[in-house]
Structure 1
Amino acid sequence: MADFPTTARVVIIGGGAVGVSALYHLAKAGWTDCVLLEKNELTSGSTWHAAGNVPTFSASWSLMNMQRYSTELYRGLAAEVDYPMNYHVTGSLRLAHSRERMREFQRAKGMGRYQGMDIDVIGLDEIKGRYPFIETHELEGALYDPNDGDIDPAQLTQALAKGARDMGAKIIRFCPVTGVRRENGEWVIATAQGEIRCEYVVNATGYRAQEVGRMFGREVPMMVMSHQYILFEEIPELAAWSKEAGQKLPLLRDVDTSYYLRQEKNGMNLGPYERNCRAHWATADDPMPEDFSFQLYPDDLERLEWYLDDAVRRVPILGTAGLSKVINGPIPYAPDGNPLIGPMPGVPNAFEACVFTFGIAQAGGAGKVLAEWMTEGHTEWDMWSCDPRRFTSFAAAPDYAVAKGMEIYGNEYAIHFPRHAWPAGRDRKLSPIHDRMKKLGAQFAANNGWERATWFAQAGDDTSEESTQTFRRSGPWEKRIREECLAVRDAAGILDLPGFSRFRLQGPGARAWLSTLITGVVPKPSRIGLGYFADDAGRIVTEMSIMAIDEDFFFLITAAVAQWHDFEWLQKHLPEGTEITLQDVTENFSCQILSGPNSRAILAELTDADLSKPWLTHQSAQVAGRWCQLVRVSFAGELGWEIHTKVDDTAAIFDAVWEAGQKHGLKPFGMFALDSLRLEKGYRAWKGDLSTDYTVLQGGLERFVKWDKPEFKGKTALQNEKQQGASKRFVTLVVDAGDCDAPYMSTLWHDGKVVGETTSGGFGYRVDKSIALGMIRADLAVPGTMVHVEIFGENFPAVVQEDQPLWDPKNERLRA
């Protein structure tokens, strides 16, 4: 082809709504030398058969931001690019059958209002007023979102495409990509029409993302579901009502039953997310076809009968309409139901914008986020919820991805409760002492695939999945968590903590290089300390424990889920041609936390290590004749040690510690107790309290900033912020809460104004108080200030605490 481009700054593979939105937003950001390649016609994948619903609702702060941005973009897009679009902003009703669902809606309302949206929770009379054809049996109320609606997916995609082309970007249709290779620091994209050299590449290929990912040596964690929706013929009463009212009915979602019902012209569109769902292209007997453009699966209406019957009972006029058409098409699912947006793990200058389950609602926001990532190196909102690096290699195993995808689909509208663990795809990574924990009554939850004990049940405790489906603090676990916390306070507790991400860093200049990346001081040999990594804007990228073995030899320890994210951050900043080596040794080690006033007495029976070495030191030692690293730190805030072991020695050391500890009151404790204990110490949790939504100074971490270092990443931005004063400050709040503690992103109020948000919350059993950590307007971050925390729609008084921990404020117990 004469006009086929041979070079570009960015090549986007995939011409659905998301890929085209990425092209549009890159062009808007000034990167116009971009080319989009589509194997067929634009929209030929999931976009063409998408229902086109555009909700803002989400239980995730970042997804809500992204969807809100989409609605704002779509409202003005037709005029901006001069392309006609059918976009109906009808509002929507989400129905609640239970008190817990109403609580979820109140939380979403609080988040939405914080983001400037007029979301409301309404009662039965108002539901009927907004939707006259509805029956309100078994309902508690509804969430009303005035910004919800539906859009024509093809028109949306073409409008974005026109906008991108008008700014100079190129779209080449009927141009399948046949391969990619890395050459001289560039990508070479091979197509049926020729090769394109480019600096960056984006996989935006929807349900074909795995196939394209493999060209880069990347296994994308995903699967494909069959999703059906039914179109009904015209309903005379609906036509008459619409004509008189001059509008369409609000989009209806019966989330507890699991379907949406939408007015389509003067008929209706019913889309269930059925429990008896079906995966496609998941086995060797059912391979993905070479081309499935503009194609559908055969109808499978038997699966939907129950949902259809329920919808007819809810909206009886639906029962008078004939069925006109069934759409049954492929929708991709990641193992947690969120899309993949961001850097392609382990692949330089490659990005993903794929596996969108709600691609039309999220396309606008996804394009914005991806363009920011590529052009600025970071995003406005912390997007960990969608970061491809949140999964590691285990998640791409087909049986795992299919099991999780089907579980998510069948529970698409499910409430995500804080103590609930989803049962599918479990036992992927087990601690060497998993069986011992199980015998002690451990209840487990997975963290980056690692099974960790959350609490320890005793005979007669209700451990059913149903018991965990509540936002309330009280449940069968509460008594046990209290006992576990008090055992750590009064005697000793042991926590099995497999899966800490662990990187070995060594070589000439390792210390000097690490010092340029963290805001503070690199610890001296035999010491351990926290290192905070900032981006160029001074925002918190991550926190790692830095264990100095020698002058230029370190172990960097970080959260289990941060494994790929943090390793890549370090790798990306290694100087070229360096002798420094960086290895991920996560799988080689395990860890136990022994904490409490009796922990020294327990260890003294098992080791000749120097147990008088102070807090924040570490030493190689023999415990029960096996090597371990004894690290004098405690996330629980008591005298204690982390016992880092080789995997094969973990069980022997645990058995010895357990046996020696019995006469000292040693008890097992789980992650729920650890969360309570760390809140009392004001210790931050990764991607809640510590995220790129906040700078290091806003996060209350100035004591970890060494201003007189010649240079470190983020220094200029942080110096500027220090000069001008931070707009927000991190605080600990004691909340006079009811039966629920403050969840993440609960709104803080003062004098009728929104002044901040919580970043985590829970109950402290040593201080016997409900605690929230959060960010507040800087002038209110004064001890004794009274604010209100909005918890599930109700405001509870809270008091800003002194800038020191609630428990053991002078760290005397830690240093004992």
Structure 2
Amino acid sequence: MAGFPTTARVVIIGGGAVGASCLYHLARAGWTDCVLLEKNELTAGSTWHAAGNVPTFSSSWSIMNMQRYSAELYRGLGDAVDYPMNYHVTGSVRLAHSRERMQEFQRVVGMGRYQGMDLETLAPGEIAAKYPFLETHDLTGALYDPYDGDIDPAQLTQALAKGARSLGARIERFCPATGVRREGAEWVISTPKGEIRCEYVVNAAGYYAREVGRWFGREVPMMVMSHQYMLFDTIPELAAWQAQSGHKLPLLRDVDSSYYLRQEKQGFNLGPYERNCKAHWITPDDPFPEDFSFQLFPDDLERLEWYISDAMARVPLLEKANLTKVINGPIPYTPDGNPLIGPMPGVPNAFEACVFTFGICQAGGAGKVLAEWVTEGATEWDMWSCDPRRFTGFEDQDYCIAKGMEVYGHEYAIHFPKHAWPAGRGKKLSAVHDRTAAMGAQFGAYNGWERALWYARPGDDVSEQAQRTWDREGPWFGSVKAECEAVRDAAGILDLPGFSRFRITGAGVADWLARQITGKVPPVGRLGLGYFADDKGRIITEMSVARVADDTVMLITAATAQAHDRDWLMRHMEDGLTLTDETDLWSCQILTGPASRAVLAGLCDADLSRPWLTWQRATIAGAAVVLMRVSFAGELGWEIHSHVADTPAVWDAVMAAGAAHGLRPFGMFALDALRIEKGYRAWKGDLSTDYTVLQGGLERFVDWSKADFRGRAALLAEKQAGVTKRFVTLLVQAGECDPPYMSTVWQGDTVVGEVTSGAFGHRVGACVALATLRADAAVAGAGLEVEIFGQRHAAVVQEDGGVWDRDNARIRA
């Protein structure tokens, strides 16, 4: 191929499995004018020493999608690009030592079935038929995944590279990117071979991603762990079994003990994820290397002794094997263990596809997702779990190290819905954190902000271990019930620091906003909900819209949405408008319940008769506040917005005034239950790009009279063709557990939808679920079933408006 390219549409920095997959998928999408730069040989980073396991298992819906796609792609990739590949689809067995682990497996079986995969759970007596060399006496059961296996990482990367080249894409090996600069609408990438001008750039630099990110003014949230796996020599009994059976053993994962054991030729590969793990390149004595291509760390087996002994006890055959080789290489980690795939926050036409802990099994799906981001501006599946904008900049290096080590040491941990992981906490504290803590608040982090989840009473078990349950009636249950009843019967107050707030000013701001949201822009003095759709009519985000003046609007959104929503707004900003992020200036309390008006009446001279969805300025305890008459809890109530410095005085005054009215603090668990009873949606659960605005049941927020707004054409076409899915509320006759996210909904023998939120509603005394159903099943009164951990429970579709205060009489009181 002729000389070094000086221009390209896309430049990818990094030539591991992920970078090669991105190039291949861009080329498959027709974007063949793309160049991949690799500083050494392809695979020189984490790819070359990766174990190459290819699981489909995940408790995340989007990551399961991504890994399932990878496995499907790899099965046909060798033939598709005419490149020989060692890909062994052996299946896998995951062991369970507890009821809770089997519940996790049962949930994943249901998710897998919905994605077209036949996973199955095994009783202890059924495991030996899949894995004959296993001690099963102390097991609760197992999960069998027939799609699992292992692949040669180098062959995978070379196959993806060959496929990309054959479609016209370029790969420049031994050509490191050395810097970038922005010139007009172009990126200019510097290399020793010359400069390349491009429209888009992708950081796929693996454990070098942070250094590459700094060229863009971006501090990539990541750290690097050392991961060891051990190769064991041929075992005659295993060789004989394979010769007789005609296949390899399934890959074994003892997830409660935290290791995998894979047949490697006629021996074994053992890879633990140890609690006493080790981070690298974090001190002056262990600096980040300029080049670590094809290198490893020294062996460090002492910290693996327990795991080796446990594996030998579980599979006694392993004791007969001789250890032949130890691989100890770097693996990058984000603070939550998920990779970064998507737009680089705040940087135009720059993307990330980096920091993959499981890069081999995710590379195929990651390439698909990244190519969709670049070529279409959106992805088929909602990929918030991997979106770089889920991190907002507070994640300093100490935080990244603490969380990375926590994730590594609990790599196979169950992610219980009400468990708060302890590492890296206390990064952002409310102005009244000391007060809520003294009242018994048990905290969880939302974009780093510590918020009360529930308030413990004397005798409540507040240990971390007590949070590790799927059961509804954990130690919080009685307290949450009392908190909800206080909101129902008197008044409750929720300290809510960290709302994301964007003030947008400029002539024409209302007209601009009208083109961004599906509905109406409220008049001055009023509030409303604004739904932002993409060009396909799918739900991007939800923001509260407060019209401050003719030329000013205040947009308030979720704490976790700060970087995402700011990025979306800035990408669509027009000349003459200015966005100011005021998130750090304000705090908020939700004061709600039938006595909330009486509480406020003794504190301020505001006009408390103003109707629902209005706002006004007022003074409490000498501090200027903004009162917004709205309540996510579905009761009469106000949001009290105050400057951070004034918040303690405001809180104290409200608490003092509320004492005579039964006011008590409540937490996020109670709020979740209250909003589900009302059918109110939560972002990135009920509201995501997996659903259109119409599928989300939000047509009342669509103003068809507007000539133009983003997504209008797609939504109008959908309406005319007939909406295929509908949002509903279900009353569920659940057992001990409420339905988790993506629990399947059945009508007879057919899956007709999925749960997007579920909780016990203490005002109605029943389990309530929000779900999206096939349109013909979404009929009020219809009897359905919700699958909860493998068991089906009767459910009934409710009328629109939730199951509490359906006519909004209480909220409008």
Please, what TM-score do these two structures have when normalized by structure 2? Answer: 1.00
| Residue matched to 1:536 | 535
Aligned to 1:723, the other structure's residue is in SS state helix
Aligned partners of 1:390 and 1:332: how far apart in 2? 17
**Aligned pairs for 1:289-368 within 5 A:** 289-368=289-368
1:179 aligned partner? 179
Q: Say whether 1:721 aligns with 2:691.
A: no
2:281 matched residue in structure 1: 281
**Aligned residue for 1:652?**
649
Q: CA deviation at 1:2?
A: 6.5
Match of 1:802 in 2: 799
Deviations 1:742-777 (A, max 9, x none): 110000111201111011101100011101101101
What is the CA deviation profile of residues 382-431 of structure 1, one whole-angstrom value per residue up to 9, with x for unaligned ones?
A: 00000000001011x11000000000000000000011000000000000
User: Does 1:508 find its partner at 2:497?
Assistant: no
CA distance in 1, matches of 2:19, 2:129: 40
| Structure 2 partner of 1:635 | 632
Matches within 5 A, 1:295-444: 295-395=295-395, 397-444=396-443
| Counterpart residue number, 2:263 | 263
Give the superposition deviation at 1:481: 0.2
Inter-partner Cα distance in structure 2 for 1:571 and 1:310: 53
* Mapped partners of 2:655, 2:572: distance in 1: 42
Residue number in structure 2 paired with 1:559: 558
- Quote the Cα distance in structure 1 between the aligned partners of 2:811 and 2:78: 61
Distance 1:665 1:800 in 2: 35
2: CA distance, partners of 1:34 / 1:484: 57
- Residues 1:790 and 2:787 are matched in the alignment: yes
Query: Are positions 1:16 and 2:2 aligned together?
Result: no
CA distance in 2, matches of 1:381, 1:179: 32
Secondary structure in 1 matching 2:129 = helix
Residue 596 of structure 1: CA displacement? 0.7
CA distance in 1, matches of 2:562, 2:652: 28
Q: Distance in 2 between matches of 1:114 and 1:198?
A: 40
Q: Deviations over 1:715-764 (max 9, x none)?
A: 00000000011110000000000000011000011120111101110110
- For residues 720-759 of structure 1, the aligned pairs below 5 Å read 720-759=717-756
Amino acid at match of 1:540: I
Q: Return the letter of the residue paired with 2:637.
A: G
Measure, in 2, the Cα distance between the counterparts of 1:464 and 1:66: 35
Alpha-carbon distance in 1 for matches of 2:616, 2:137: 65
Distance across 1 between alignment mates of 2:770 and 2:633:
16
Quote the residue 1:189 is aligned against: 189
Please give the per-residue CA displacement for 1:575-606, whole angstroms capped at 9, x wherever unaligned. 2xx11111111000000000011111111111
Measured in 2, the distance between the counterparts of 1:588 and 1:142 equals 51
Matches within 5 A, 1:211-226: 211-226=211-226
Counterpart Cα distance in 2 of 1:283 and 1:183:
36
Query: 1:128 & 1:226 partners in 2: Cα distance?
Result: 33
Mean Cα displacement is larger for which, 802-811 or 13-22? 802-811
Report the Cα distance in structure 1 between the residues aligned to 2:657 and 2:647, rounded to whole angstroms: 15
Aligned partner letter, 1:149: G
C-alpha displacement of 1:780: 1.1
Deviations 1:135-162 (A, max 9, x none): 1021000000000000000000000000
Post-superposition Cα deviations, 1:671-696, rounded to whole Å, max 9, x if no partner, equal 00000000011000000000000000
Letter in 1 for 2:566: F
C-alpha distance after superposition, 1:473-518 (max 9, x if no partner): 0011000000000000111100000000000011101000000010
- Determine helix, strand or coil for the equivalent of 2:147: coil
Secondary structure in 2 aligned to 1:795? strand
**How well do the aligned residues superpose, as a CA RMSD in angstroms?**
0.7
CA distance in 1, matches of 2:610, 2:526: 10
C-alpha separation between the residues in 1 aligned to 2:287 and 2:108? 40
Q: Is 1:522 equivalent to 2:521 in the alignment?
A: yes
Separation (CA, whole Å) in 2 of partners of 1:252 and 1:262 = 6
Aligned partner of 2:149 in structure 1 is: 149
* SS of match in other structure, 1:263: strand
User: Aligned AA for 2:479?
Assistant: R
- Amino acid across the alignment from 1:278: K
State how far apart, in whole Å, the 2-side matches of 1:167 and 1:237 are. 47
1:107 matched to 2:107? The reply is: yes
Question: SS at 1:812's partner residue?
Answer: coil
Counterpart of 2:530, as a letter, is G
Q: Please name the residue that 2:605 is paired with.
A: 608
| Distance across 1 between alignment mates of 2:735 and 2:252 | 32
Of residues 754, 771, 774 in structure 2, which corresponds to 1:774?
Answer: 771
* Deviation (angstroms), 1:284: 2.8
- Structure 1: gaps of 5 or more residues: none
Q: Distance in 2 between matches of 1:717 and 1:246?
A: 53
* CA distance in structure 2 between the partners assigned to 1:383 and 1:284 by the alignment: 36
Deviations 1:173-207 (A, max 9, x none): 00111110000210000001110000000000111
Alignment partners' CA distance in 2, 1:536 and 1:135:
55
**Matched letter for residue 747 of structure 2:** H
Q: Of 765, 769, 784, which residue of structure 1 is paired with 2:762?
A: 765
**Aligned with 2:189: secondary structure?**
strand
Is 1:119 the counterpart of 2:126? The answer is no
Q: What secondary structure sits across from 1:712 in the alignment?
A: coil
Match of 1:704 in 2: 701
The question of 1:673 aligning with 2:665 is answered no
User: Distance in 1 between the 2:205 and 2:598 partners?
Assistant: 59
What is the TM-score of this pair, normalised by structure 1?
A: 0.99
**Which amino acid counterpart does residue 562 of structure 2 have in structure 1?**
Q
Amino acid at match of 2:796: V
Partner residue of 2:808 out of 799, 803, 811: 811
* Whole-angstrom distance in 2 between the partners of 1:107 and 1:198: 45
Mapped to 2, the partners of 1:288 and 1:41 lie a distance apart of 20
Asked if residue 622 in structure 1 is aligned to residue 622 in structure 2, the reply is: no
Whole-Å separation in 1 of the counterparts to 2:769 and 2:2: 63
Give the Cα–Cα distance (whole angstroms) in 1 for the partners of residues 424 and 285 of structure 2: 22
User: Matched residues in 2 for 1:805 and 1:153: separation?
Assistant: 50
Distance 1:805 1:2 in 2: 65
| 1:77 match | 77
Amino acid at match of 2:304: L
CA distance in 2, matches of 1:613, 1:380: 43
CA offset digits 1:650-681 (Å, max 9, x no partner):
00000000011111101000000000000011
Q: 2:592 aligns with which of 588, 591, 595?
A: 595
Could you tell me which amino acid in structure 1 is paired with residue 761 of structure 2? Answer: G
Map Cα deviations across residues 218-269 of structure 1 (whole Å, 9 max, x no partner): 0000000000000001000000000111100000000000000000000000
Q: Distance in 2 between matches of 1:312 and 1:661?
A: 62
Which residue does 2:454 correspond to in 1? 455
Q: How many residues align?
A: 813
Distance in 1, Cα, partners of 2:159 & 2:474: 51
Q: Distance in 2 between matches of 1:370 and 1:178?
A: 23
Match of 2:709, as an amino acid? Answer: F
The CA distance in 2 between the partners of 1:757 and 1:655, in whole Å, is 43
Q: Distance in 2 between matches of 1:542 and 1:137?
A: 50
Alignment of 1:493 with 2:488, yes or no, is no
Q: Distance in 2 between matches of 1:761 and 1:286?
A: 47
The code of the aligned residue for 2:106 comes to Q
SS in structure 1 of the partner of residue 394 of structure 2: helix
CA drift at 1:120: 0.4
2 CA distance for matches of 1:489 and 1:333?
44
